[in-house]
Every structure is written in C-alpha cells, then in structure tokens.
Amino acid sequence: MKIVKGHHRKYDGIDLILKSNPEILDAFHGDLEDFGSMKGRESKFSSEQMLRLAIVKCVEKEPYRTTIIRVTDSDFLRNFCRFGMDELPNLTFFCKALKCIKPETMKAMNAVLLKYGNEKDLVSGKSLRLGSTVCESTIHYPTDVHLLWDGYRVLARLMSRAKKADWRLI
C-alpha cells in the first residue's frame, strides 16, 4: 500500500540520519549513562533503543503508553527501535529515561541535525513555521445586564468624543 510505503520511507530516512550522525546518539547516551544501573546491574535496554523509541513517540505524536503499545504491536517499529523480539521497557522506565535528557543535550542534538540539514540542502532557512496558543483571559460572560451596560458605556464614550469634536453635534 502507498501509505505504508510512505510510512516506512519516513522511518528509513530517520534511520539514515541517525546512522550518518552518531553524535546524536553519543549526546543522548551521555545523559542515560548512569540511568538504570542504581542497583549495580546494567540496564537491558540500550540508549539507542530509548532514543529510537522517543523518536517514534514524537513522530507519531502519541503519549508514552500508546507509543509502547504501538511499537509492541508493530514488527516494523520493533525493528526500527532495535527491539526485535525482545521485551520493551515498561511505561515507567521509558518516562524516567526521557526525564534524564537535559535541555542542553536536546540543543546539541538539534544543532547536529541543523548542520546535517544545511550540508544536505534539506533546510533553507528561508521560511519559519510558528505556532500560537490561546490563553484564558478575564473577559466576562455576556449576559443581558452586561451587554446593556457595555452598550451604555460605549455610547457615552462616543457622545463625549463627538461633543469635544464639535459642540453642535449634541
């Protein structure tokens, strides 16, 4: 199917970027180096598996739980994340692992991606995508009394301005 091939191509492209830029995994690994070994034993999950699982979470725009379920049920995503037939981390482990990633590390990873994008002419810098959010404000709910008062207030203000402009208008 065309949609499945497109989905696979997207992850194949991400795989190529990760293989071409080992600095991304190195930065990610640095923050996870001591994670999971508090009891003196090694974690059974590699930092590469955690990075790839985090990438699936971002690409699919899914919460942690849904990401684990999706990867568990998909042979393709299991292979992308390098789990094969092995067990995936549980939800708590995955969340705690991603909390270890520092903002500086994310900036360093983004810098590597930006450099790669510039070198391969994937990023032009000619356009910028922005997002906006709406936040709650103290605007009162319109009721009949409030609407009447607002109307009176606006009319009084306009009449006052008109009077100042030309006294013969009022």
CB–CB of 14/58 below 8 Å? no
- Full residue range of the structural domain in which residue 145 is found: 136-170
* Total number of domains constituting the chain: 2
Assess whether 86 and 167 both reside in one domain: no
Report the pLDDT value the prediction gives residue 45, as an integer from 0 to 100.
Answer: 86
CB–CB of 57/64 below 8 Å? yes
Query: Is 109 in a helix, a strand, or coil?
Result: helix
Assess whether 142 and 113 both reside in one domain: no
Report the pLDDT value the prediction gives residue 62, as an integer from 0 to 100.
Answer: 92
Assess whether 7 and 47 both reside in one domain: yes
| Tens-level pLDDT at each residue, the chain (170 residues) | 888 898 899 999 999 999 999 999 999 988 887 776 555 556 788 889 999 999 999 999 999 999 999 999 999 999 999 998 888 998 898 998 899 899 999 999 999 998 998 888 887 767 777 777 777 666 666 667 777 888 889 999 998 888 888 877 65
Tokens of 47: 């930092």
Residue that the structure tokens 């000619």 belong to: 126
Assess whether 115 and 143 both reside in one domain: no
Assess whether 54 and 82 both reside in one domain: yes
